[in-house]
Structure formats: C-alpha cells, structure tokens
Amino acid sequence: MKLGERAYITFFTPQPEAAAAFCLSLGYQNLTPTMVTDGLVVFEILPSQTPATALTYAVSDLKNKIEMGENLGIHFSEKGQNRASFYDPNGLFISLVEKDAGAIPQPEGKPLSLCGTFYEISLETDDLDRSIVWWQNVGFKVTTRLRAGTWHYGVQARKQTRCTLDDGKIMIGLYQRGTCPHKFKNPSLTYFESDMEKRIAQLQSRGVAFVQTEQEIGMEGHAIAESPDGQYFFLFKV
C-alpha cells in the first residue's frame, strides 16, 4: 500500500497566527494563506482546538485507500468524505486527504530556512522491529539501519537503535526509546547542516525558544528548538 501521491506536514493548532509567525521566524516562506515551505517540504497550518503534527498525503481515491488500510489492520480514527486519519504504532498522526496532488504548491527544491536541510520525521519507539514492519506495509523502504558497534551523533550504539525509511516522498526515522542523547518528543522534525552553530545563533537572536542547547546536549552544533505548540525541531550539525 502506498499512502498517497504527495506528502506534506500539517500543523493543527489553536494558534494559527502564532504558528505561522514561528515558521517565518525559522526562515520559512509563504506559499498560500495556509501553507509555508522550508524550500524542501510543504507545511500546512490549520486551526484546531488540539495541537498536533500530522504527516498528510494527497490521495486521488480516498475510499480505496481506506479499504486497503483496513485490509492491513489499520484502525481509522476518522473516516470522512474527504479526509481519513489514523496513527502509526508510535503515535504519529497520519492524514489522507482526497485532493489533486498538483494543487499543492511545489517548493524550490533547495533549503532556504535557517534550520538547514530537512531530513526526516523522527519517532521514538519501544519496538523498533514492529515499527519497521508497519512502515514497510504502507510503502516505505529501509534505507539505513544503525547496528551495534557503529556511531551516531558521536555516541557508540550498544545495539540496533535506529532505522531510516523512505517512500520517495518523505523520510521517517525510527529510534529505540532511550538511546538518543537528547530530549525526544513524537514526532520531531530533524534538520542537518554543516554550519548549524551559526544557524542556531541566528535563530536565538530572532527569539526562537530552545528546549535544549548545544551545552545541555553536550555536542557542538546540536540543539532543539520548540514551536509555541510544543513541536520539536532537531537542529543537528553534520
């Protein structure tokens, strides 16, 4: 099963104006009244009483996608005329919206925000193997596995702790719970860049809030920014 024709990220928020202002403070650019971009990924900002971050797909035949998902054992928390929603095993909200993928603005294809280059949606998991199988069932392929004896963020892995998957539209990073040397919240959005120290300083000068700084994490060029709704942005030096 493929989730859809086009992937983007939706911020459901009770503070849409504050969320939009925060995105602009990161250096995102407006695409439409409800969509912004970091140059690589499109972000939609929608009003909602409950804040949430969703991985959203544009689909051409929602009824068929629901049937395929239910055949895989997916429980849909919402099945509307134009939108259906469910969760991955780690609590990531996934939304399928029946719309023409061509109606979604196309970003430039190069990073333009102070965050750097978007890499993945990051998720902590209690069961790495189970999560990998779940994502494979919805069309993702494993691209990277971190095994014992390898290094990640300067820390030696004691066992298999990480897997990155890709469906050609977006990447998902799965991390065994408790193995990352920094704070984690599902989902988190991960960015990499070689000059991240400079970018972090610029974001701090713009008043962007950080839940962990380079000093607190203990690694130069690594910090975690937080949106007004509590969304984590991992900013890591590569």
Four-way CATH pick for 117-237: 3.40.50.1220, 3.30.1330.10, 3.10.180.10, 3.40.1010.20: 3.10.180.10
Res 171: pLDDT: 98
- Which of 218, 232, 7, 19 has the alpha carbon at shortest distance from 122? 232
What is the largest distance, in Å, between two alpha-carbon atoms of the chain?
A: 50
Res 158: pLDDT: 53
Q: pLDDT class for 156, splitting at 50, 70, 90?
A: low
Q: pLDDT class for 147, splitting at 50, 70, 90?
A: low
Q: pLDDT class for 157, splitting at 50, 70, 90?
A: very low
Which top CATH class is 6-103?
Answer: alpha beta
Q: What is the pLDDT of residues 181-196, one digit of tens each?
A: 999 999 999 999 999 9
- Which of 191, 237, 187 has the alpha carbon at shortest distance from 214? 237
pLDDT at 122 over 60: yes
DSSP output for 104-137: SPPP-SS--STT-EEEEEEEEES-HHHHHHHHHH
d(CA 38, CA 20): 12
Intervals of CATH 3.10.180.10 along the chain: 6-103, 117-237
Q: Span 185-208, mean pLDDT? A: 97
For the chain, give the mean pLDDT. Answer: 94
Which residues face 165 on adjacent strands?
142, 172
What residue has token string 């190069």? 110
How many Cβ atoms sit within 10 Å of the Cβ of residue 108?
11
Q: Span 133-157, mean pLDDT? A: 76
What residue has token string 């849909």? 76
Assessment of whether the complete model's pTM goes beyond 0.85: yes
Q: What is the pLDDT of residues 12-57, one digit of tens each?
A: 999 999 999 999 999 999 999 999 999 999 999 999 999 999 999 9
Q: Span 126-137, mean pLDDT? A: 96
